[in-house]
């Protein structure tokens, strides 16, 4: 605590005590934070709150289990998994799940009535579900049931799924709708077997208490000075703009359901990425807002306006060679992310 300059005795020598303790902790290899303020100072409460939020995330990461369903597609080095590094730095485990023998086989065994019950509930939240191919739609819903059951039985905190081509060519449906429903229920799921993307979503949803969305950066909207975030149709329904009823659709290339189709709701968002682009783990952080505008593509998409001009953000992403997936959740969670990075000794790159 700061001590009043009375001209008399230095009673506590508190600042020197912080200095001594910090030195001892550093020499012992510990990361720490400090507060130099009165206990009633709002700054003290802010620091303690932020550190406790970050500490909770760190605790939940330690022992977390992420289901890796299949292998990342050829050429998608952005989705390579560093098992040893994740175990050492975060204390989490990557659990391999065979796409055909475990997921497809289990999905095909799910009773039709169970998929129909999920579909009936979904139909109360979206429009157009009855217009899609019933058989293919039910296969997506059976996939959702399968993965949800796996999460419960195997204590999995999230999934990274090989969503193409086998879902289309062998099971006969799209994985997107299943992953959207999982993320909406706070089991974060990313496509293209992006384990680090799923971990990022898990971090963000833990901080916000709301679902997170892993997306591609696919375009720039010059008029809105915004980046266009998109993925085929896997954003959680909680993120849909309430001014319009979310819809469903088929995959634009494979022409199979089930995909969600809506624009993201406007509001302040935090974007992040657990990145290994520089060779070691670091945390990419940004803050901006989703703004309304003409929906640029089918699927789930939003216009992201950050603190810098869109072309400057694009330059920063490409100059750093960052991964092609960014995750987001609503609210400003940058202080807790920075505190988490400090606890885990992760460099931070601010977009």
Q: Are strands 259-263 and 213-221 parallel, antiparallel or unpaired?
A: unpaired
> How far, in whole angstroms, is CA 349 from its chain's centroid?
17
* Token output for 265: 């709701």
Which letter, b or e, does each residue of 95-106 get, where b requires 16 or more Cβ atoms within 10 Å of its Cβ? eebebeebbbeb
Report helix, strand or coil for 229.
Answer: strand
Q: Is 65 left (phi over 0), alpha (psi -120 to 50) or beta?
A: beta
pLDDT at 17: 96
CA 196 to chain centre: 9
DSSP-based three-state secondary structure for 351: coil
Q: Are 330 and 269 in contact (CB under 8 A)?
A: yes
pLDDT digit string, tens, across residues 322-341: 999 999 999 999 999 999 99
Q: Specify the DSSP class assigned to residue 157.
A: S
Under DSSP, is residue 27 helix (H, G, I), strand (E, B) or coil? helix
The pLDDT of residue 267: 99
The secondary element (H helix, E strand) that includes residue 114 is helix 112-123
Distance CA 5, CA 67 (A): 58
Tokens 């050829």 appear where?
74
Query: DSSP label at 127?
Result: B
Q: Give the chain's length.
A: 351
Closest alpha carbon to 180 in 150, 218, 140: 140
Decide: 134 and 219 in contact? Cβ < 8 Å: no
**Is 331 in contact with 304 (CB distance < 8 Å)?**
no
Structure tokens at 3: 């001590």
Q: What is the pLDDT of residue 342?
A: 98
Each domain of the chain, given as residue ranges in start order, spans 1-32, 52-350
Q: Residue 16: which H helix or E strand, with range?
A: helix 14-27
Q: pLDDT digit string (tens) for 2-47?
A: 999 999 999 999 999 999 999 999 999 999 999 999 999 999 999 9
- Whole-model pTM: value is 0.96
- For the chain, which residues score pLDDT lower than 50? none
CA distance 227 to 251: 22
Give the integer Cα–Cα distance in Å for 101 and 294: 42
What is the structure's pLDDT at 27?
A: 98
What number of other Cβ atoms are within 10 A of residue 335's Cβ?
A: 16
Question: What is the crossing angle of helices 42-61 and 195-208, to 10°?
Answer: 140
Give every CB contact of residue 190 below 8 A, 6+ residues apart in sequence. 158, 159, 160, 161, 179, 197, 198, 201, 214, 325
pLDDT at residue 67 in the model: 99
CATH class of 52-350: alpha beta
């Amino acid at each position: 605590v700061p001590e009043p300059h009375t001209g008399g005795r230095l009673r506590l020598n508190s600042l020197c005590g912080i200095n001594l303790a910090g030195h001892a902790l550093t020499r012992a290899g510990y990361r720490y934070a400090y507060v130099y303020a009165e206990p009633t100072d709002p700054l003290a409460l802010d620091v303690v709150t932020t550190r406790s939020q970050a500490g909770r995330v760190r605790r939940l990461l330690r022992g977390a289990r992420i289901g890796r369903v299949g292998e990342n597609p050829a050429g998608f080095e952005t989705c390579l998994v560093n098992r040893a590094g994740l175990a050492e730095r975060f204390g989490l485990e990557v659990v391999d799940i065979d796409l055909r023998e475990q997921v497809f086989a289990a999905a095909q065994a799910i009773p039709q009535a169970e998929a129909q019950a999920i579909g009936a509930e979904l139909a109360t939240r979206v429009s157009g579900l009855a217009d899609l191919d019933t058989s293919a739609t039910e296969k997506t819903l059976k996939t959702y049931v399968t993965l949800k059951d796996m999460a419960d039985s195997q204590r999995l905190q999230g999934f990274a799924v090989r969503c193409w081509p086998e879902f289309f060519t062998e099971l006969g449906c799209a994985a997107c709708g299943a992953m959207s429903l999982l993320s909406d229920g706070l089991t974060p799921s990313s496509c293209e077997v992006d384990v680090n993307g799923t971990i990022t979503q898990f971090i963000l949803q833990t901080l916000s208490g709301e679902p997170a969305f892993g997306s591609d950066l696919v375009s720039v909207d010059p008029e809105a000075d915004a980046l266009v975030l998109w993925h085929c149709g896997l954003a959680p329904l909680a993120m849909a703009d309430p001014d319009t009823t979310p819809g469903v659709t088929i995959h634009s290339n494979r022409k199979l359901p089930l995909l969600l189709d809506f624009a993201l709701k406007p509001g302040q968002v935090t974007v992040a990425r657990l990145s290994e682009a520089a060779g070691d783990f670091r945390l990419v952080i940004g803050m901006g807002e989703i703004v309304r505008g003409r929906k640029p593509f089918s699927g789930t998409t939003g216009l992201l306006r950050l603190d810098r001009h869109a072309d400057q953000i694009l330059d920063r992403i490409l100059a750093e060679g960052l991964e092609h997936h960014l995750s987001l959740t609503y609210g400003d969670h940058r202080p807790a992310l920075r505190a988490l990075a400090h606890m885990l000794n992760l460099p931070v790159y601010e977009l």
